[in-house]
Amino acid sequence: MSELKIDHKAEGGVGVCRIEGRLDAHGAVAMETYAQQRIGAGEARLVLDLTGVDYVSSAGLRCLMVTAKKAQSVNGCVVLCCLTPMVLNVLTLSGFDQLLKIRATAEEAVAAAAAHA
């Protein structure tokens, strides 16, 4: 079991979280806790850069949805970007690609999150 790593930086009022590891049962708990802390601290516009994520389980899908809904509840948003083909396939097969905001690059995701009003 590898531990989920999250690097965070702020870009133009948007929190950019670069995630590495697996969004499985253990990683999802760490990611959800981290995202809830960021949103609770007033950083309601988040970009989740999934470049380093090679696996997403049902717990990971749930984590992404809960995080997006929490951000929306405080007039924020979550934008996913840089998905690997496997992660994009999981989101597409589950229908989550229709429920979550997804952009190809981090730059596009930051612009989408910054434009959220």
Domain ranges of the chain: 5-115
CA angle 82, 2, 81 (to 5 degrees): 10
Q: Closest Cα to residue 80, out of 60, 101, 94?
A: 101
Place of tokens 């948007």: 14
Give the integer Cα–Cα distance in Å for 7 and 51: 12
User: Does pLDDT of 1 surpass 60?
Assistant: no
In this prediction, residues 11-31 reach a mean pLDDT of 94
Taken in order 40, 41, 43, 48, is the CA torsion positive or negative? Answer: negative
In this prediction, residues 89-95 reach a mean pLDDT of 96
Q: For residue range 30-75, what is the model confidence (pLDDT) as tens digits?
A: 999 999 999 999 999 999 999 999 999 999 999 999 999 999 999 9
Superfamily of domain covering 5-115: STAS domain (3.30.750.24)
Q: What is the pTM of this model?
A: 0.94
Tokens of 83: 């998905």
State residue 15's pLDDT score. Answer: 95
Q: Closest Cα to residue 99, out of 74, 79, 75?
A: 79
